[in-house]
Amino acid sequence: MNRVLIVDDEDQVLEILSMQLESLGFIPFTASSAEEALKVFQKEKPGIIISDLNLGIGMDGVALCSRIKHEDRSTIFIAISGYFSDFDKAFCASAGFTDFLVKPVNLEELNSALQCAFERRSRWMRTP
């Protein structure tokens, strides 16, 4: 199922990404904090999570990724941020992120990243 959780502390980003995902045929869920994301994850079990790295107060996007990956390694994480350095990318990859999108997110890049993520997840979920 094409369920995607978007995690960002900016309501406008959540709204825009949610509308973009719907236009691409995905089922979006939103959370404005890592703590809220954990609750949504437990309830909805999305296969893909798009998370901002800086989520304001509390747990950041990297800690959220590490925590969920510890529980469910098949969940795919895509990082979004206003800026990425090579250090940020390496750090995020080591935490479990598989892709990186720069804000504002381009619709074509978003679709491409999600298609790749769902294909990867589909391969991981197949039983031999």
pTM: predicted TM-score of the whole model, two decimal places: 0.92
Bond from prior residue into 104 cis (ω within 30 degrees of 0): yes
Q: Does domain 3-125 match CATH 3.40.50.300? A: no
pLDDT band at 88 (very low <50, low <70, confident <90, very high): confident
pLDDT in the model for residue 26: 95
How far is it, in rounded angstroms, from Cα 3 to Cα 5? 7
Give the pLDDT confidence of 1-58 residue by residue, as tens digits: 699 999 999 999 999 999 999 999 999 999 999 999 999 999 999 999 999 998 988 8
pLDDT in the model for residue 128: 60
Give the pLDDT confidence of 62-86 residue by residue, as tens digits: 999 999 999 898 999 999 988 777 6
Residue 116 has pLDDT above 80, yes or no: yes
Mean pLDDT value across the chain: 91
> Do the Cβ atoms of 68 and 49 come closer than 8 Å?
yes
User: Residue 77's beta-bridge partner residues?
Assistant: 49, 97
The domain spans of the chain are 3-125
How far is it, in rounded angstroms, from Cα 6 to Cα 33? 10
pLDDT in the model for residue 1: 66
